Amino acid sequence: MKKLFTTLGNIWKIDDLRARIQFTVLCLLIYRIGSFVALPGVDATSLSTEDKGGLMGLLNMFAGGSFSRGSIFALGVMPYISASIVVQLMGIIVPQFQKMQKEGESGRKKINQITRYLTVVITLLQAVAYGTTQILPEARLLAEPLFTISCMLTLTAGTLFVMWLGEKITDKGIGNGISLIIMVGIIAQLPGALLQESVSRMDGGGGLIPLVLELVGWFFVIIFTILIVQGVRKIPVQYAKKIIGSKQYGGVRQYIPLKVNSAGVMPIIFAQAIMFIPTTVGQFFPDAQGAFLTSLSDYTSFGYNITFALLIVAFTFFYTAITVNPTQMSDDMKKNGGFIPGIKPGKVTGDYIDSIISKITLPGSVFLAIIAILPSIVTLLGVSSQFAHFYGGTSLLILVGVVLDTLQQVESHLLMRHYDGLMKTGRIKGRTPVAANTGGSVI
């Protein structure tokens, strides 16, 4: 406890860090207040507040409940994330985007600008869909087409404002702004979920002991998730000695840290998108639903979870293959005079790195699949569906990843000023925030 207060005191003593934290808290507070401001022309009291499942429930969680409240921030940063994913995939397919990625800072600015323009287009389309499908006719105070136009412009402006807030947090605050906004939206649902679970357990759901066991189990799931997020395989790299004048350069040993889970949460997001297809097909073609298709629409069924897990494993290998390039790593190492001890430089090094990536990706993908289906498993064990979301899946991975990354930045500020870090032994290792897995600046 003394160590905690000492660390907090050290954080407060650093003017720059204190100002960054205060700015971040202020921006997040503005976002949370805006999430309760209803769209113009919408009667918020007439909106349905019941918990939505599937894709709608996921979007509502990421938006901190704004989606179901008909808020001006109802779409949150999801259009920006979608645009970032599209731009990153274009960087793999389109040569022009590949060229921009290699242009350094100027290329990054061009890609960011394209991402922003694409965000506007996606937000306009999603805003129309949101106003049409999510706002019930009895909640609309304006006639068509005025309501649709108002909804489209307001939601687009809201998303752009949230995106601007996130970029300001990244520049002047602490941590990755967009990631923190998503994290705050998820955490905002946690108190209500805990309260609902506590009331449910106390009112005939088994009492205090099952509740305590749930919380203990949740704690160990978080620890397990941290291990997956932090897990790396270090490959030693030796650099050749160079003597220039009277000075010696190189000759040091460094390491390439290959993550066990290089793909982050993207395999889960892709797999969830695929798993929503049977539900969509069932809505449009009720007569086409068979037993298997029906089971794929139930997220607690055995068929759903097995299919979901297999898709996550497959997408983990796919996403790792397109984002981690062993050949380029080998070429960069060779250009800088580096080599892996006992491995011939060039193609052999690339093949060696590729084989290690394949070996660590398999257990990483299996563990990621386990984390993804945990909410369904604990739901069958009696945990409420609202609290079960925090037992795994995208939400837990985002929370763990963003918290670790933010704490790592705070620790860097402390160590730069010659203060102790946040831990007695070792250092916190941050990870690439969620959206950084999609375009370089976000999730």
Tell me the pLDDT tens digit for each residue of 288-307: 556 666 666 677 778 888 88
Q: What is the CATH number of the domain that holds 45?
A: 1.10.3370.10
Same domain, 132 and 182: no
Overall number of domains in the chain? 2
* Pairing assessment for the beta strands 338-339 and 253-259 based on DSSP bridges: unpaired
Share of the chain above pLDDT 70, in %: 82
Same domain, 149 and 234: no
Range with the poorest average pLDDT among 101-110, 171-180, 305-314: 101-110
Report the alpha-carbon distance of residue 85 to residue 79 in Å, rounded.
10
pLDDT > 80? residue 286: no
Share of the chain above pLDDT 90, in %: 12
pLDDT, greater one: 396 or 427: 396
Range with the poorest average pLDDT among 188-197, 241-250, 343-352, 424-433: 424-433
Q: Which of 153, 173, 193 is the last residue of a domain?
A: 173
The CA distances from residue 47 to 33, 42, 44, 72, 135, in Å, are 19, 9, 5, 14, 7
pLDDT of residue 432: 46
CB 163 within 8 A of CB 75: no
Same domain, 269 and 294: yes
Same domain, 101 and 138: yes
Same domain, 40 and 120: yes
Same domain, 140 and 200: no
Range with the poorest average pLDDT among 37-51, 93-107, 357-371, 415-429: 415-429
How far the first Cα of the chain sits from its last, in Å, is: 33
Report the alpha-carbon distance of residue 233 to residue 225 in Å, rounded.
17
Same domain, 288 and 372: yes
**Please, what is the Cα angle at 59 between 57 and 65, to 5 degrees?**
75
pLDDT of residue 248: 60
pLDDT > 50? residue 18: yes
Give the SS3 label for residue 34. helix
pLDDT, greater one: 283 or 219: 219
Arithmetic mean of pLDDT, 98-123: 86
- Alpha-carbon torsion, ordered 371, 375, 379, 382, to 10 deg: 70
pLDDT of residue 67: 81
pLDDT, greater one: 299 or 78: 78
Q: Which of 125, 148, 173 is the last residue of a domain?
A: 173
Same domain, 31 and 68: yes
pLDDT of residue 29: 94
pLDDT of residue 31: 93
Across the chain, mean pLDDT equals: 81
CB 133 within 8 A of CB 48: no
- Residue 209 burial (C-beta neighbours within 10 Å; 0-12, 13-18, 19+): exposed
Residue 21: domain span: 1-173
Same domain, 218 and 153: no
Report the alpha-carbon distance of residue 426 to residue 412 in Å, rounded.
13
Same domain, 267 and 386: yes
pLDDT > 90? residue 402: no
Confidence of residue 120 (pLDDT cuts 50, 70, 90): very high
Same domain, 307 and 185: yes
pTM above 0.85, yes or no: no
pLDDT, greater one: 57 or 186: 186
Report the alpha-carbon distance of residue 176 to residue 5 in Å, rounded.
25
Q: Which of 145, 173, 201 is the last residue of a domain?
A: 173
Q: What is the pLDDT of residues 2-13, one digit of tens each?
A: 666 677 777 777
Same domain, 127 and 211: no
